[in-house]
Amino acid sequence: MKLYDFELSGNCYKIRMFLNILGINYDRHPIDFFPGNEHKGPEFLAINPLGQLPVLVDGTFQIRDAQAILSYLAAKYDDGGTWYPTSDPERLGEVNQWMAFGDMITGTASAARLHDGLSYTQIDVKAARAGAHRLFRILDEHLWFAEREGRSWICKGDTPTIADIACFPYIMLALEGGVSLQDYPAIRRWTDRVKRIPGFTVMSGIFSAGAGVEAA
Amino acid sequence: MLQNVNPTDPVVYNLWHVITAVDDLTPGVPQETALLGEPLCFVLSESGEPIVWKGKIADQTSEDKNARVRAQLKYGYIWVVLGEPEFEIFDIPEYVEDGRRNMNAISVGLNTSAPRVVENFLDMAHFPFVHTDLLGEEPHTEVSEYDVDYNPEEREIWATNCWFYQPKASAASEEGVLAEYKYRVPHPFCAILYKTSPDDDTRLDAIAVLVQPLDETRVRAHLLLSVIDHQNELDKHIRLFQQTILGQDKPILENQMPRRLPLNPRAETPIRADKVSIMYRRWLRELDLHYGVIREVA
C-alpha cells in the first residue's frame, strides 16, 4: 500500500494515524507541498487532477479524498466492523454526517492555518476563523450532551468511529490558524480521549497525551 | 492589523531583513508581504533583479520612486532595509563552499515575536521532548556545559562545544550520534547553527533561521540549509526533514507567553542550559533594541 503524503497536512495525518490503528504497513511517498508546490505539478496532477493530498494506492485500486480513504480502509480492513458500521444504517448515516462536518473543519480551521502558517494570503482569514468557531461551538455542545449520556465519541456507540479520526487533526491544529480551543472544554476532553486510542500516532504540531489519568 | 514599527527603534529599522525566498518566484509576477508593520510588494524582474516597494499591489505604487525600498539578493533570498543600513548582511562563508547543497527548507508563518524564534533555535534542552526520536530522546536529556562568547568586533554571539545525543540528527542519518553543535547569532533576528554532518567528518552542516518580522508578534521564519548530504537524491527529502522539525516547534512557540521576549533578567528564570539565551537577551538590551521585546521591569 502506498500513501501520497505530506507531513504537515492534517488530512494526510488522519490516514497515517488510521493505518497505524489498523496495524497496516504502507509506504510513504512524500510530496513537496510547500515550498515545492509539487501537488500542482503535472506528475501529481496525473494522479489526482484536483491537485490534493492524500491519495492512497492499494494494489491496483487508487482513491483520493481523506474521508473517502478512511471509509475504504475501515470497510475493507477493520475486521470488527466498528470503525465504519456498515451494518447499522443509523450509525452509518451519523458517521457520514460527521465526516462531512470534518470536511467543513478543513474548509475553515485548516484554511486559517494555511493563511497564518504558509502565507496563503488569498484566504479570507477572518471568515475562516469565524467559520471554525461556529463549527467548534456546535461540536462542543454535541460532545457535552454525549458525555452527559455516558458516551465518549462523536457518534453513538461504545467505540470510536472514523468520524472521530476525520474531525481530530484540524481541531488539534486550529491554534496554528489563530483559533483557540479555550472555550471548548468538551472538545478538549474528547481530543484527550482520541489520543488514548490504541495505535494513535502524532504529527508535527500534535503531541501525545500525558501519562495522567483521563479527566471524566 | 499590522502594528507599525516603533519609529524610536532605529536598530531594527536600519537592519537588512529577509522578505522571501527566491526559489519559487516567477519573474514578473508581483507578490505581497510585510516587514516591521509595513505592507510591501516584491517582484523579480525578467533579468532576475529584485524590485520591492511599499504598499499593496492594488495601489499600483510600483512606479512611484518614493515607494521603492532598497533590496538585494543574497543566499537565495530577497533582503530589504527600510532605513539606512549601518551594516552589510552578515557573511555565511559555508554558502559558497564546494559540495554543499543550499536550499530554503521552508518559510513558515508563526504567531510570535522574532526574538522568541531565535531563542528557541538556540535551545537544546527541548530536543528530547519536542523532537522526540529525531533530535533527542529520553533519558538523554542533559545539556552539558558549553561555552558562550560575544565577539564585539564581529558583533556576534557564539556558543561552542555543545554536544547532544541525537537518534536521527538529519535526513542523512542512519543511526544515533553524539552530535556537536555550534551556534552563531550575527543579527538580532537571525541565527545559524552548525552541527555534525553524517556525510562528512571534517565539516559541519549549517542551518540558518532568518526571521522576517511581519510585525511585533507575527513573523515568517525562513530556514536556509547549507548541508553536506550524499544520501538523499532529492532536495525535497532534506527539506521535509527540517519541515517536520519546524512543525514540531510551531505550537511550542505560539504558546509561549508573552509573545514579545522579556529582556529583564528577572522576568523568566533561566537555568545553566540557557547560557546562550542569557547572552542573547543581554545583547538585545545593549543594542537598545525595542521591537518584539519587553524592556520594562516586570
Percent of chain A's residues with pLDDT above 90: 89
Contact B246, B108 (CB under 8 A): yes
| CA nearest to B131 within chain A | A204
Q: Do B239 and A36 touch (CB under 8 A)?
A: yes
Calculate the average pLDDT of chain A.
94
Q: How far apart are the first and last CA of chain A?
A: 38
Highest mean pLDDT among A48-62, B23-37, B160-174: A48-62
Q: Is A176 on the interface with B (CB under 8 A)?
A: yes
Higher pLDDT, A130 or B179: A130
Q: Which residue has the cell 537588512?
A: B16
Mean pLDDT of A103-128: 94
Which pLDDT value is given to residue A144? 98
Classify A72 as helix, strand or coil: helix
Which pLDDT value is given to residue B1? 44
Mean pLDDT of B129-140: 88
Distant-in-sequence, close-in-space partners of B52: CB < 8 Å, separation ≥ 6? B19, B40, B41, B42, B68, B69, B70, B71, B78, B80
| Cα distance between residue A68 and residue A48, in whole Å | 14
User: Among A14-28, A51-65, A89-103, B143-157, which is the least confidently predicted range?
Assistant: B143-157
Which pLDDT value is given to residue B93? 95
Mean pLDDT of A135-153: 98
| Cα distance between residue B266 and residue A179, in whole Å | 31
pLDDT at residue A116 tops 50 = yes
User: Among A57-61, A161-165, B234-238, which is the least confidently predicted range?
Assistant: B234-238
Q: What is the ipTM of this complex?
A: 0.76
CA–CA min distance B244, chain A (Å): 6
pLDDT at residue B125 tops 60 = yes
Which pLDDT value is given to residue B297? 62
Q: Give the closest of B104, B220, B245 to A119, CB-based.
A: B220
Cα torsion B107, A120, A175, B117 to 10°: value is 20
Which pLDDT value is given to residue B173? 87
Q: What is the pLDDT of residues B71-106, one digit of tens each?
A: 999 999 999 999 999 999 999 999 999 999 999 999
Q: Is A88 on the interface with B (CB under 8 A)?
A: no
Residue B52: band (very low, low, confident or very high) from pLDDT cuts 50, 70, 90: very high
Residue A216: band (very low, low, confident or very high) from pLDDT cuts 50, 70, 90: very low
Mean pLDDT of A40-62: 95
- Tell me which residue of B270, B265, B261 sits closest to B291, measured CA to CA: B261
Contact A177, A106 (CB under 8 A): no
- Tell me which residue of B189, B162, B169 sits closest to B276, measured CA to CA: B162
Percent of chain B's residues with pLDDT above 90: 64
| Cα distance between residue A170 and residue B32, in whole Å | 27
Which pLDDT value is given to residue A213? 54
Detail the DSSP E strand segments found in B50-176: 50-54, 68-74, 77-81, 101-110, 147-151, 156-166
Residue A215: band (very low, low, confident or very high) from pLDDT cuts 50, 70, 90: very low
CA–CA min distance A58, chain B (Å): 23
Q: Do A203 and B109 touch (CB under 8 A)?
A: no
pLDDT at residue A133 tops 70 = yes
pLDDT at residue A148 tops 70 = yes
Most distant CA pair in chain B, distance? 60
Which pLDDT value is given to residue A201? 95
> What long-range pairs does B182-185 form, CB within 8 A, spacing at least 24?
B182/B158, B183/B121, B183/B122, B183/B157, B183/B158, B183/B159, B183/B276, B184/B156, B184/B157, B184/B158, B184/B159, B185/B118, B185/B122, B185/B156, B185/B157, B185/B158, B185/B280, B185/B283
pLDDT at residue A100 tops 70 = yes
Which pLDDT value is given to residue B66? 81
pLDDT at residue B3 tops 80 = no
Which pLDDT value is given to residue B4? 52
User: Among A85-99, A185-199, B42-56, B168-182, which is the least confidently predicted range?
Assistant: B168-182
Which pLDDT value is given to residue B17? 98
- Identify the bridge partners of residue B200 per DSSP, sorted by sequence position: B197
Higher pLDDT, A153 or B154: A153
Contact B289, B281 (CB under 8 A): no
Q: Do A35 and B21 touch (CB under 8 A)?
A: yes
pLDDT at residue B28 tops 90 = yes
| CA nearest to A178 within chain B | B111
Q: Do A8 and B248 touch (CB under 8 A)?
A: no
Tabulate helix, strand, coil % of chain B (nearest 5).
20, 35, 40
pLDDT at residue B175 tops 80 = yes
pLDDT at residue B118 tops 50 = yes
Which pLDDT value is given to residue A19? 98
